[in-house]
Structures are given as structure tokens and as C-alpha cells.
Amino acid sequence: MTDLHSHILFGVDDGARNPQESIEMLQRAAQEGVTCIVATPHALHPAMDTQPARRAFRELQPFARDMGIEMRLGYECNLSALRVDDLAAARRFCIEKTNVLLVEFPFDNWPGTWREILYGLQAEGMRLVLAHPERYRPIQRDPRMLDSLAEMGVRLQVNAASLQGWFGAKQGIARRIVKAGCIAALGSDAHSAQDYAGFARIARRVPAEALNPAFL
């Protein structure tokens, strides 16, 4: 079972603060039956230094292997930081050994060029997965945006916590995505070990193909 979205790398963003917290997250994920974690620290600027994330990733690899977990390195790329005329810069944030890019927009207001940005990234050869669509207010206000995203070929990653209501009103959107068969991947969006609580139980509500995405 794959967790496509986790802030498990220590000391690089608002996730794990130190190696011990990262290891505790690995332990809890293993208990929940997770066998693959895509580490996705925030990428807030196209020129950000990725070395801290790479160092943390290398340090955690032996612990992950001992627990039967494959770790892969990617990033959660904030699209508001990209320039429309230089979208190729986002390629460095794709999940390793793929052309798959996990992307996010601001929660409240999307840029007016959001379609242009997504199409531009695709034109650069990247396959897009939108992180936690259920959390964005533009989609909450107009769920028909989900249809537009699907027509554009953008895959959707739903947060496990949203399916059990930890994010309140967002639960309805998350369930709509699952019911419509539009969920491409499940993610914990974990920032601590506690965020893995109930992951296995929630995963039973999700189609099997979203638990081991073939596009990775």
C-alpha cells in the first residue's frame, strides 16, 4: 500500500523535526500496512536547495528498509511560486525516476492562470497529481472544477484524514471524489506519527488501484 504524500523527512519543512520523529512515522506507517512512502517535502520556490531533503532521505533509507517500506523522493510543488514562462523548472521536483509531479495550489485563491500553468507543465512532459483537492475553497465552492481537472488529465490525491472527517466540510468533497472513481492515489499528508492513525481502515474505502498507483 502506497502513501503518495508524506512530510516524513526531518528538518526540511513543517513535518518531522528530527530523525527520531521520522523513524516514529515510519514505525506507525508500517503498523498501518504501508509498504511504500513517497516523501514529499514542500517545494516553495523553483530554485530551492534540495540537498537537505536528499540528506534526510538517505539517512532514513536503512530504517525504512528494515521495516519493509520502500521510500521514494518527490516534492509537493506549490504552483503559485512558478513562473508561467519557466515551468520546466518544476521538473526537478518530480517523483524520482518518473515524470510525475505532485502539485498544490493556495487553499483560498487560485491564480487566474491556473489552467495555463497546468497545461504548460503537461506540455513540458510532466504528469500531474493534485494534492488534496478536497481542501481547496475554489473546489468547495464549485465542485464542477473536479470535472475540469479530470478532463485536463490531472490525477487527484485525496488525504486519508479527509475521508474520516478530520477536516470537517472537506469530507463531502473527498467522498465525492472516491464515489465518482476519480481518486488516483491516497495520501496521509502526515506531518507526525499520529497522522497515520487509522490509515489502513480508511484505505479499505478506496479502490485498490489508488492504493498502489500504476503511474508511479
Report yes or no on 173 lying in a domain: yes
Question: What rounded mean pLDDT belongs to the chain?
Answer: 95
Number of neighbours of residue 24 by Cβ within 10 angstroms: 17
With 70 as the cut, is the pLDDT of residue 167 above it? no
pLDDT at position 55 is 98
Helices (H), 32-154: 51-66, 114-123, 137-141, 145-151
Report yes or no on 14 lying in a domain: yes
Can you read off the three cell numbers belonging to residue 164? Answer: 474520516
Report yes or no on 53 lying in a domain: yes
Report yes or no on 145 lying in a domain: yes
- Which amino acid type is present at position 98? T
With 80 as the cut, is the pLDDT of residue 135 above it? yes
With 80 as the cut, is the pLDDT of residue 180 above it? yes
If one counts the domains in the chain, the total is: 1
Report yes or no on 216 lying in a domain: no
Q: Identify the weakest region by mean pLDDT among 48-52, 110-114, 135-139, 163-167.
A: 163-167
pLDDT at position 45 is 87
**DSSP 3-state of 69:** coil
Give tens-digit pLDDT for 68-89.
999 999 999 999 878 888 899 9
**Segments forming the whole domain that contains residue 24:** 2-211
- Give Dmax (Cα) for the chain: 46
Q: Which residues pair with residue 2 across a beta bridge?
A: 36
pLDDT at position 166 is 60
Report yes or no on 20 lying in a domain: yes
Give tens-digit pLDDT for 22-32.
999 999 999 99
pLDDT at position 80 is 84
Q: By percentage, how much of the chain surpasses pLDDT 70? A: 98
Which CATH number characterizes residue 28's domain? Answer: 3.20.20.140
Q: The whole model's pTM is what?
A: 0.96
Report yes or no on 118 lying in a domain: yes
Report yes or no on 69 lying in a domain: yes
Q: Identify the weakest region by mean pLDDT among 37-46, 55-64, 152-161, 169-178.
A: 169-178
| Phi, psi values for residue 48, rounded to 5° | -60, 150
With 80 as the cut, is the pLDDT of residue 91 above it? yes
Question: Where does the pLDDT of residue 168 fall: very low under 50, low under 70, confident under 90, or very high at 90 and above?
Answer: low
